């Protein structure tokens, strides 16, 4: 692996990593890139040429919006040939959504796009930001046999490199903030970076990068729970303009056996709304043929999301509905892997 002559574009969107404490209110607020750079002089010595791109508006990632995803993929496309890889500094709160969205919007990716951030600001003595950032840069600049080692959208956090569209934020306290659901880590980092190449996605056909910039935000996550009311489900499924629903069901994709629920779901799918069945469990997959309580959903036209995460299912729906006019194709694609998001 050769780290010289590699260059990485560091894209700064915001998040705790670059925040400072507001002395008056005691809250954390976004600060500018110069503040961030002041705390990482190591960047000059890391053997990788790092250049930066700073978004006009630095945000807490709770303010993340699909328009920012569009901007991110455009920045990556415009700079694609000039860099070995890309590192995106992002808040942890919605990082899994952004990583998933980018994986669907950047088609035929053959370079690394690594999202990272931190739980403590970079200026704090015990910050986790420095290690996260430096290792992300090393991974984004890693080349083997003239090709980038990683060729997909990932999150690097607290010693783990994970496929972006498999991640979920699991902890708001520990440094180990992310979990990779139903998929092994792509690398574990200690003294060495141990890449698990068998799990990598590669653009073997060497197709050129293609970006999708359309999205349809008329989607919703509907979580089932014991005692859920007809009036509530009815109201959600009849929201004007609604086009997609991520239905969070029990266990392997099961729902209560209520006639009214099945009728409402069937009516919605008949109106062209795409309903995707996703489990409320952190691990495991939907299998609607396993129990009668799942089988009934199949008959309403609900499609299986298998072992996809909620974050990934939601943004995949947005991206597909924004780019694919044929609803039948959207339904088909929701049930298969298009970017490594389903096993």
Catalytically active residues, by annotation:
16
Question: Residues in the site for ligand ASP, rule: CB under 6 A?
Answer: 14-16, 60-62, 91-93, 117, 119
Least separation in angstroms between CB 15 and ligand ASP: 4
Across the beta sheet with 160-163, the strand order is 49-59, 7-14, 85-89, 113-116, 153-157, 160-163, 187-189, 193-195
Nearer to ligand ASP, 120 or 222 (CB): 120
Position closest to ligand ASP via CB: 91
Nearer to ligand ASP, 128 or 307 (CB): 128
Q: Which tokens is 236 given?
A: 């959600």
**How far is C-alpha 175 from the geometric centre of its chain's CA atoms?**
18
Report the distance separating Cα 321 and Cα 25, nearest Å.
42
Number of separate helices (H) and strands (E) present in the chain:
9, 20
Evaluate whether 68 touches 90 at the Cβ level (below 8 Å): no
Evaluate whether 178 touches 169 at the Cβ level (below 8 Å): yes
Least separation in angstroms between CB 123 and ligand ASP: 14
Q: Which tokens is 3 given?
A: 């780290």
Nearer to ligand ASP, 118 or 269 (CB): 118
Nearer to ligand ASP, 91 or 305 (CB): 91
Least separation in angstroms between CB 156 and ligand ASP: 14
Evaluate whether 84 touches 98 at the Cβ level (below 8 Å): no
Nearer to ligand ASP, 158 or 216 (CB): 158
Least separation in angstroms between CB 69 and ligand ASP: 15
Least separation in angstroms between CB 128 and ligand ASP: 10
Q: Which tokens is 243 given?
A: 């086009």
């Amino acid at each position: 692996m050769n780290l010289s002559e590699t260059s990485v574009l560091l894209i700064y969107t915001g998040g705790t990593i670059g925040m400072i404490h507001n002395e008056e209110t005691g809250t954390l607020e976004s600060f500018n890139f110069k503040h961030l750079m002041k705390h990482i002089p190591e960047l000059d010595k890391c053997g990788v040429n790092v250049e930066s791109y700073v978004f006009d508006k630095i945000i807490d990632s709770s303010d993340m919006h699909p328009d920012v995803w569009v901007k991110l993929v455009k920045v990556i496309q415009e700079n694609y040939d000039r860099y070995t890889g890309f590192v995106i500094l992002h808040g942890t709160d919605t990082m899994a959504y952004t990583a998933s969205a980018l994986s669907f919007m950047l088609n035929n990716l053959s370079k690394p796009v690594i999202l990272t951030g931190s739980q403590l600001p970079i200026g704090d003595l015990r910050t986790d930001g420095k290690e996260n950032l430096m290792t992300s840069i090393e991974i984004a600049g890693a080349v083997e046999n003239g090709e980038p080692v990683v060729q997909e959208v990932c999150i690097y956090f607290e010693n783990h490199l994970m496929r972006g569209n498999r991640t979920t934020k699991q902890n708001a306290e520990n440094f180990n903030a992310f979990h990779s659901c139903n998929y092994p880590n792509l690398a574990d980092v200690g003294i060495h970076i141990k890449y698990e190449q068998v799990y990598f996605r590669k653009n073997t056909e060497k197709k050129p990068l293609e970006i999708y910039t359309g999205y349809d935000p008329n989607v919703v996550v509907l979580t089932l729970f014991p005692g859920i009311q007809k009036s509530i489900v009815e109201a959600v499924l009849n929201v004007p303009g609604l086009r997609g629903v991520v239905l969070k069901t029990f266990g392997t994709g099961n729902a209560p056996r209520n006639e009214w629920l099945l009728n409402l779901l069937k009516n919605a799918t008949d109106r062209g709304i795409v309903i995707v069945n996703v489990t409320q469990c952190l691990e495991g997959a939907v299998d609607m043929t396993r129990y009668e309580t799942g089988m009934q959903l199949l008959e309403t036209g609900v499609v299986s999301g298998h072992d996809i995460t909620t974050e990934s299912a939601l943004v995949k729906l947005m991206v597909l509905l924004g780019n694919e006019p044929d609803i039948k194709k959207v339904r088909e694609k929701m049930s298969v892997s298009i970017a490594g998001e389903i096993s």
